[in-house]
Chains A and B, each alone.
Chain A
Amino acid sequence: MKSSTIRVVLSHVVSSTWPIHQIDVNNVFRNDDLQEDVYIKQPPGFESSSPYLVCKYQKDLYGLKQALRSWFQKLSSTLHTFRFHSTKSDTSLFVQFMPSCTIFVLIYVDVIIITGSSRHEVNNLISKLSLCFALKDLDPLHYFLGIKVNCLKSGDLLRSQTKYINDLLRCMNML
């Protein structure tokens, strides 16, 4: 996902006062079965008598290259069944246009942002997704990709990296 995409979508959301939800998916990489065979060397402490034997993965594990791809495939095929399609400009932005409302879904690995013109339809989608995955609904957007999102009283959003800056300054003994 491009950072410009997030800003364009957020800008549109603020201008049209749409509801916005952030969702975390729990244990992304332990949900899926592997599509191909992946072998690893024997981990230290579990060596068997023959040094030529290797271990085979049965489930996806965090850090596997295949895990990310299979997770995205699983999520996007689920969204396709809900009649969403991904945009050409940014493949991790999914949209759905219905006569009554419009829904945008932004995906960054296991963090999903859902927004749309109808609060009812957004909640509907979240409940449909929670049937497929173990979700955690963090109602209003507050922390996304390490950037704090402050919702101001006027409905505007202020995105800031105060914690990141303070951590840096603390490392340099400037705080």
Chain B
Amino acid sequence: MQSNIRLQKDVSSAMEDLTLYRSVVRTLQYIPITRPKLSFVVNKVCQFMHNLQDHHWKAVKRILRYLAHTPLHGLLIKHCSSSNILTFSDVDKGSDVDDRKSTTAYCVYFGSNLVSWSSHKQHVVSHSSTEAEYRSIVVVLTKVLWLQSLLHELHISTSQP
């Protein structure tokens, strides 16, 4: 998706072929399993299933064109001697122009391999950027705690994240 475009509810004319859009978007939902880069855009176009406009369809077609040029890309799992847990998280406060909810994104690395990531809209409206950031950190922290308990059960030693 172009970075300067903000998708919102009603700015252009409604799409006619809803079934086509929905079936394509439904298929797209499984692509981020090996393409973390597409998590944000796919999640974004999924938010407009009920109220489709022409510019949403254009965003979907752009994703498809990107996929057509990069079908061989995937997720690489490579050899790594360290077993640290490294986490990045960010929030885009009030990014949704319709309801002003914030968007959370995070990724968790185990050694040099990406093992968990997500990009989604928060469920409540945050009053400040601090509040939005804290919400984002809580989400990623639960993920890290789960990962730590899993590694503990597998007897894989890690250093603290």
Of B27, B28, B71, B156, the residue contacting A12 (CB under 8 A) is: B156
B27 contact from A11, A154, A168, Cβ within 8 A: A168
Contacts of A157 in B (CB 8 A): 76-77
Shortest distance from the beta carbon of A35 to any chain B beta carbon, whole Å: 30
| B64 and A174 form a contact (CB under 8 A) | yes
Partner of A159, one of B64, B74, B154: B74
Q: Point out the residues of chain B lying under 8 angstroms from A108, CB to CB.
A: none
Q: Which of A88, A95, A154, A160 contacts B74 (CB 8 A)?
A: A160
CB-based closest 10 A-B pairs = A160-B74, A89-B150, A11-B113, A7-B115, A156-B78, A157-B77, A87-B153, A4-B116, A159-B75, A165-B71
Excluding A159-B74, A168-B24, 19 further A-B contacts by CB distance (< 8 Å) are A7-B110, A8-B150, A8-B154, A11-B115, A87-B150, A87-B154, A89-B150, A154-B78, A156-B77, A156-B78, A157-B77, A158-B75, A158-B76, A159-B77, A161-B30, A161-B31, A161-B33, A168-B67, A174-B65
* A interface residues, Cβ below 8 angstroms from B: 3-5, 7-12, 14-15, 17, 87-90, 95, 97, 102, 104, 146-148, 150, 154-162, 164-166, 168-169, 171-172, 174-175
